[in-house]
Structure 1
Amino acid sequence: MTTYLRYLLLILCFPLSVLIGPNAVSAAEKPFQRPNILFLFSDDQRADALGAYQNPHIQTPNLDQLAHAGFSFRNAYCMGSIHGAVCQPSRAMLNSGRSLYHVPMDLKGVKTMPQLLKESGYTTFGTGKWHNHRESFQKSFTLGTAAFMGGMSNHLKVPVVDLKDGKFENKRMGEKFSSELFVDATVNFLKTQPADKPFYAYVAFTAPHDPRMPPASALETYKDKQPPLPKNFMPQHPFNNGWMTGRDEALAGWPRQPEVVREQLTEYYAMITHMDSQIGRILKTLKAQGLDKNTIVIFSSDHGLAVGSHGLLGKQNLYEHSMKSPLIFKGPGIPQNESSEALVYLYDIFPTVCDLTQTSVPSGVEGLDLAPIWRGKQKGVRTSLFTTYEDLMRAVRDDRWKLIRYPQINKTQLFDLKTDPAELKDLSEHPEQQARIEQMLTTLKEWQQKTDDKQPLTSEHPKSEKIDLTGRKRKPDAHQPDWIVKKYFDSE
Structure 2
Amino acid sequence: MKCILWFAAACMAMVCTAALTAAERPNVLFLFSDDQRADTIAALGNTHLQTPNLDRLVRDGTTFTQAYCMGSNQGAVCVPSRAMLMSGRTLYRVQEQLKGQATWPESFASAGYRTFMTGKWHNGAPSALRAFQEAKAVFLGGMGDPDAIPVQDMSSAGQGGNRQFVNRRTVEKHCVELFADKAVEFVRAQKQSSQPWLCYVAFNAPHDPRKAPPAWHEQTNANKPPIPENFLPVHPFNNGEMTVRDEKLAPWPRTEPVIRQELADYYAAIMFMDSQIGRILESLRATGQDEKTIIVFSSDHGLAIGSHGLMGKQSLYDHSMHSPLILAGPGVPKGEKRAALCYLLDVYPTLGDLAGVNAPEGSEGLSLVPVLKGEEITRRQAIMTGYRKVQRAVRDDQWKLIVYPQVNKMQLYDLKSDPAETRDLAREPGHAEEIDRMRTLLEKLQKENGDTQVLRSEHPGPLEFDFGSQEAATKKGQDF
Question: 4+ residue stretches of structure 1 with deviation over 2 A?
Answer: 28-32, 470-473
1:176 to 2:181 alignment:
no
Among 395, 398, 409, the residue aligned to 2:396:
398
Matched residue, 1:71: 62
Matched residue, 1:130: 121
1:470 positional shift: 4.5
Matched residue, 2:14: none
Q: Partners of 2:358 and 2:338 in 1: how far apart?
A: 25
Matched residue, 2:387: 389
Among 139, 143, 147, the residue aligned to 2:138:
147
Q: Partners of 2:338 and 2:88 in 1: how far apart?
A: 21
CA offset digits 1:382-406 (Å, max 9, x no partner) = 1111000000100000000000000
Contact kept in structure 2, 1:154 and 1:479, CA below 8 Å: no
Matched residue, 1:475: 474
Q: Partners of 2:20 and 2:91 in 1: how far apart?
A: 43
Q: Partners of 1:452 and 1:219 in 2: how far apart?
A: 45
Identity of matched residues, %: 51
1:92 to 2:89 alignment:
no
The alignment covers a number of residue pairs equal to 453
Q: Partners of 1:452 and 1:248 in 2: how far apart?
A: 28
Secondary structure, in 3 states, of the residue corresponding to 1:115?
helix
Secondary structure, in 3 states, of the residue corresponding to 1:38?
strand
Q: Partners of 1:119 and 1:467 in 2: how far apart?
A: 52
Matched residue, 1:36: 27
CA offset digits 1:192-225 (Å, max 9, x no partner) = 1134111100000000000112211111222321
1:249 to 2:247 alignment:
yes
Contact kept in structure 2, 1:125 and 1:202, CA below 8 Å: yes
Which structure's CA Rg is the greater one?
A: 1
Among 311, 319, 322, the residue aligned to 1:324:
322
CA offset digits 1:305-327 (Å, max 9, x no partner) = 00000000000000000000000
Among 434, 442, 461, the residue aligned to 1:444:
442
Q: Partners of 1:285 and 1:366 in 2: how far apart?
A: 34
Q: Partners of 1:479 and 1:389 in 2: how far apart?
A: 18
Among 38, 51, 60, the residue aligned to 1:47:
38
CA offset digits 1:276-306 (Å, max 9, x no partner) = 0000000001110111110000000000000
Q: Partners of 1:219 and 1:391 in 2: how far apart?
A: 38
Q: Partners of 2:278 and 2:422 in 1: how far apart?
A: 36
Matched residue, 1:10: none
Secondary structure, in 3 states, of the residue corresponding to 1:402?
strand
Pair 476,31 (structure 1): closer, same or farther in 2 beyond 3 Å: closer
Q: 1:292 corresponds to which letter in structure 2?
A: D
1:171 positional shift: 0.9
Matched residue, 1:121: 112
Q: Partners of 2:21 and 2:33 in 1: how far apart?
A: 37
Q: Partners of 2:429 and 2:215 in 1: how far apart?
A: 54
1:435 to 2:426 alignment:
no
Q: 1:112 corresponds to which letter in structure 2?
A: T
Q: 1:88 corresponds to which letter in structure 2?
A: V
Q: 2:60 corresponds to which letter in structure 1?
A: A
* Greater alpha carbon shift after TM alignment, 348-357 vs 68-77: 348-357
Contact kept in structure 2, 1:124 and 1:199, CA below 8 Å: yes
1:157 positional shift: 0.9
Q: Partners of 2:20 and 2:84 in 1: how far apart?
A: 38
Q: 1:474 corresponds to which letter in structure 2?
A: A
CA offset digits 1:341-368 (Å, max 9, x no partner) = 1100000012111101111223311110
Among 296, 299, 303, the residue aligned to 2:297:
299
CA offset digits 1:454-475 (Å, max 9, x no partner) = 1111111100010131485311
Q: 2:213 corresponds to which letter in structure 1?
A: P
Pair 85,303 (structure 1): closer, same or farther in 2 beyond 3 Å: same
Pair 30,100 (structure 1): closer, same or farther in 2 beyond 3 Å: closer
1:374 positional shift: 1.3
1:479 positional shift: 8.6
1:441 positional shift: 0.6
Contact kept in structure 2, 1:153 and 1:479, CA below 8 Å: no
Matched residue, 1:192: 189
Q: 1:354 corresponds to which letter in structure 2?
A: G
1:167 positional shift: 2.2
Among 354, 357, 373, the residue aligned to 1:356:
354
**Highest relative contact order (Cα 8 Å, sep 6+), 1 or 2?**
2
Pair 417,183 (structure 1): closer, same or farther in 2 beyond 3 Å: same
Contact kept in structure 2, 1:178 and 1:207, CA below 8 Å: no
CA offset digits 1:26-67 (Å, max 9, x no partner) = xx9998700000000000000001111100011111001111
CA offset digits 1:216-238 (Å, max 9, x no partner) = 11112223211110000000000
Contact kept in structure 1, 2:297 and 2:326, CA below 8 Å: yes
Pair 30,253 (structure 1): closer, same or farther in 2 beyond 3 Å: closer
Pair 441,29 (structure 1): closer, same or farther in 2 beyond 3 Å: closer
Secondary structure, in 3 states, of the residue corresponding to 1:395?
strand
Contact kept in structure 2, 1:255 and 1:471, CA below 8 Å: no
Q: Partners of 2:255 and 2:468 in 1: how far apart?
A: 11
Secondary structure, in 3 states, of the residue corresponding to 1:339?
strand
Contact kept in structure 1, 2:221 and 2:261, CA below 8 Å: no
Secondary structure, in 3 states, of the residue corresponding to 1:313?
coil
Contact kept in structure 2, 1:255 and 1:470, CA below 8 Å: no
Secondary structure, in 3 states, of the residue corresponding to 1:275?
helix
Runs of at least 5 residues in structure 1 that lack an aligned partner in the other structure = 1-27, 481-492
* Greater alpha carbon shift after TM alignment, 116-125 vs 79-88: 116-125
Q: Partners of 1:184 and 1:31 in 2: how far apart?
A: 27
1:132 positional shift: 0.7
TM-score normalized by the length of structure 1: 0.90
* Greater alpha carbon shift after TM alignment, 298-307 vs 155-164: 155-164
Pair 31,469 (structure 1): closer, same or farther in 2 beyond 3 Å: closer
* Greater alpha carbon shift after TM alignment, 417-426 vs 187-196: 187-196
Pair 430,127 (structure 1): closer, same or farther in 2 beyond 3 Å: same
Pair 478,391 (structure 1): closer, same or farther in 2 beyond 3 Å: closer
Q: Partners of 1:316 and 1:30 in 2: how far apart?
A: 44
Q: Partners of 1:30 and 1:176 in 2: how far apart?
A: 40
Pair 29,209 (structure 1): closer, same or farther in 2 beyond 3 Å: closer
Contact kept in structure 1, 2:87 and 2:360, CA below 8 Å: no
Matched residue, 2:460: 462
Contact kept in structure 2, 1:99 and 1:347, CA below 8 Å: yes
What CA RMSD, in Å, does the superposition of the two structures yield over aligned residues?
1.6
Matched residue, 2:363: 365
